[in-house]
Chains A and B, each alone.
Chain A
């Protein structure tokens, strides 16, 4: 179940990252030298889960809850190249049974997003490279209570985006996520229907795809999405056994994302419900975030001049049907 979070929170750049002015899976960029800091609270719960493909509940878990607070920072290196970093603090608990909750700082993630293609028609392509590393030696295989599976990850992602001048847009992305093997506290474990006599555990890689449709204009964003996170291989939860980091976890989710940012202070909300899955919980995730954007260039006269130029450009872009979210960086 932990992988659920891994996939949602970090790899997909999901619930936590959603709180920000921009995310590793959207087509929104910060202006050069702009900084956005954000914090998001997320609450994800499941009562039923898929034991392999068998949907069941577990009276000795009741409702499983994972909460997280994710501070995040985004920085505009240029208007087409942005940097995003985040580090969630995660806590787990159950409503029944006697499994001890776990808590701690999880994985530090860093993403670089680059606007590779920008056409006049409003169509754009974006490449994302990212990665994550655990910042603490949390227990990785006490699932579903562990706060993470402790894998180091590398993500490559391609985003295609179209935005109409009216503010309506569609976005689609696909990612491949490399996940490193991990070391666990025990020196033997069962996976792939055999016993491995080592403390090294093979973690399957993963992919994620998503499609989004929404409206974004004048600081208001509203979006519906569907996403699918899939491990590339892996084994399954055996009958009545506990999950393990090697499991082939899959989930398909649908959700809503909204943002209101009239000026440099903004708020976000997100809701996601898993509609299908395997080897993981059918979770419902709710999150709310706060963000604050700083543009350092306003602090010098020279920068102010540049801003005027940028504003002119933006003004022109708004007027043209080819304007996209990217050009709106200045008003995020």
Chain B
């Protein structure tokens, strides 16, 4: 019986040990840094929407020696002395950078809302309703064009608001609390950047304003993030209240102006499904034998067929039409047969490496989409290179506008040629089939633009970024949802779109 008991005890003990194993996921920590450059002249950089960096007025702050400011410093010291471990965690989290974190939050919301509506009992797909964002289907359906636009406006608002903030920072030149009073113990590294108005509050308020408009069902979450972002600067001893409130007001005012463009950029007509008939007729008139058809059951209307008419950032409509890639191979041509044969070969024997690449870049439903993928890469590059908040926002704005331009131009091409998907020729997919036309590849267009923008700003990374873009482009062939020529044309088209963003960047006065 002793042996029996021992085996029972061992079994129980083993079960207990096994069940208590720690499986927590660890993600890289992001520690705050002092920027390599403060970009002192940032207040003169060219803005996207603001006519000038002082278009929104910010009142002169109380001087460092004033009783009002001293009272704020005293209050700050009291606050610092009473912070909790949770407060400290928030300080460290936001210490990674305001633009860094708000971009990450935007990607998270993008992923959360990136699910196509389900068909209803009548076999129809209800259109998400902005006035009922949490109903089924949720609003928005954050597909790649939607996300490219949401993050473009987010980044532009952050950038314009920071240019304005930099103008006032160096105009009023009020130093950080810990530089004015050595007894203020800041939890994060403190640079010589003037602290009024707070750049973190500017970014928080601008980001909040854009994201509430883009993701109206997430107001409670965004309220909490906004409050925490601002409080963290106080808890960390980085800003006094007046730094924060001035930044908050400036960020909100600038973002409201930026959202003025969003309201009139043509997005409200992007899902106009009545354009399809004319587009098909036009493509057929040019010789298309059989047009793209939804492969879903029931057939789903194409994703945002009129998105190509939304207003681009870095070029005008005429330029966009002039940049349009030349027609894809006719369906009875050798060029088409070669491309289809390549896919058939992969269909029969997809290698594990091909599957890996297809999966790594899939960025499909439930993900932050290809623009999100590239914004993450940009955020990490800015972080690694210790860019200032302003310079980080500039990178994200250049990238963001290029990604929205890529979506607009690519959707114009897709709708113009109305080319069928490989699945209309009997192929399966290992990544899920997007519900819109094949030519050109959206992934390739986004990636071509992103690699050019980021590779120009970070030249030592250019080779790697170009290779990444090529892999992203190839991934759509490996996943069997694009022909080779869809991807090659998209990548080339994307590069031209990236060049337009860079042309603007070179002329924005940053000297970068």
Q: Which residues of A contact B (CB under 8 A)?
A: 59-60, 96-101, 114, 116-117, 125, 127, 129, 137, 139, 141-142, 145, 154, 156, 158, 176, 178, 180-181, 184-190, 193-198, 200-203, 205, 232, 238-242, 244
Contact = CB atoms under 8 A, between A and B. Distances in A.
B480 interface: yes
A241 B115 contact: yes
Given A205-B19, A239-B115, A241-B366, A200 B108 contact: no
A238 B396 CA distance: 30
A247 B431 CA distance: 19
Contacts of A158: 11
B359 A139 contact: yes
Nearest to A155: B18
A197 B101 CA distance: 13
Contact of B18 (A60, A178, A196): A178
Interface of B: 4, 7-8, 11, 14-15, 18-19, 21, 23-28, 104, 107-108, 111-112, 115-119, 136-138, 295-298, 347, 350, 352, 355-356, 359-360, 362, 365-368, 373, 376, 423, 427-433, 480
A142 to B, nearest CB: 6
Contact of B297 (A59, A137, A142): A59
A28 B38 CA distance: 75
A98 B429 contact: yes
B136 A129 contact: no
B23 A180 contact: yes
Contact of A197 (B15, B27, B366): B27
6 contacts: A96-B297, A137-B352, A176-B18, A189-B366, A195-B107, A195-B111
Contacts of A190: 111-112, 366-367
Given A202-B23, A240-B115, A139 B4 contact: no
A200 B27 CA distance: 9
A154 to B, nearest CB: 5
Contact of A185 (B27, B28, B356, B428): B356
Given A127-B8, A129-B11, A139-B355, 19 more contacts: A60-B296, A98-B428, A98-B429, A100-B480, A116-B8, A145-B430, A176-B15, A176-B19, A178-B18, A185-B359, A185-B360, A190-B111, A190-B112, A193-B112, A195-B368, A197-B27, A198-B27, A239-B118, A239-B137
B118 A125 contact: no
A142 B23 contact: no
Interface of B, helix, strand, loop or mixed by DSSP:
loop
Contacts of B430: 99-100, 139, 142, 145
7 nearest interchain CB pairs?
A185-B359, A59-B297, A100-B428, A240-B118, A156-B15, A178-B18, A127-B11
Contacts of A125: 4, 8
A72 B137 CA distance: 47
B25 A202 contact: yes
Contacts of A201: 25
A180 B21 CA distance: 9
A139 B478 CA distance: 14
Which of A97, A117, A184, A238 has most B Cβ within 10 Å?
Answer: A97
A98 B116 contact: no
B108 A186 contact: no
Contacts of B480: 100
A202 B130 CA distance: 34
Contact of B138 (A129, A178, A194, A239): A239
A205 B18 CA distance: 10
B96 to A, nearest CB: 12
Nearest to A104: B352
A242 B23 contact: no
B108 A194 contact: yes
Contacts of A142: 359, 430-431
B475 to A, nearest CB: 10
B116 to A, nearest CB: 7
A59 B125 CA distance: 13
A121 B7 CA distance: 21
Contacts of B116: 240
Nearest to B300: A60
A190 B114 CA distance: 11
A239 B19 contact: no
B428 A202 contact: no
- Residue among A99, A185, A205 facing the most chain B CB atoms (10 A cut-off): A185
